[in-house]
């Protein structure tokens, strides 16, 4: 395998992981509702909403890291191909 194929495979895996985490967070947030529960009879719904918020907050750091790593890998790929174009025209 050449350097370019390994680089592109790693880039694709990083982007896929970031996309999977993003989709999972979006799926969790779909069930989240913006409501205020004033009555004690809605404690079960309040607990369910708090559980969703806890899961989303737990995923946020992983998503942030995955997006930054994918962005860095994307920048590396772009810079590599720009460097390749420049060196071929010399």
Question: What value does the mean pLDDT of the chain take?
Answer: 89
Global pTM exceeds 0.75: yes
The top-scoring range by mean pLDDT among 6-10, 24-28, 53-57 is: 6-10
- Residue 53 covered by a domain: yes
Predicted confidence band of residue 66 (pLDDT cuts 50, 70, 90): very high
- Residue 67 covered by a domain: yes
Q: Residue 56: which domain range?
A: 3-30+43-88
- Residue 36 covered by a domain: no
Q: Which two tokens stand for residue 76?
A: 């590396």
- Residue 62 covered by a domain: yes
d(CA 40, CA 15): 44
- Residue 37 covered by a domain: no
d(CA 79, CA 47): 48
d(CA 14, CA 33): 31
Q: How many domains does the chain have?
A: 1
Any idea of the CA torsion for 33, 37, 42, 45, to the nearest 10 degrees?
A: 20
């Amino acid at each position: 395998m050449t350097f370019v194929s390994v680089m592109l495979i790693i880039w694709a895996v990083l982007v896929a992981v970031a996309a999977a985490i993003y989709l999972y967070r979006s799926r969790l947030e779909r069930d989240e509702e913006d409501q205020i529960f004033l009555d004690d009879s809605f404690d079960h719904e309040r607990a369910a909403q708090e559980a969703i918020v806890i899961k989303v907050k737990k995923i946020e750091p992983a998503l942030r890291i995955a997006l930054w790593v994918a962005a860095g890998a994307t920048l590396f790929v772009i810079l590599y191909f720009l460097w390749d174009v420049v060196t071929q025209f010399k």
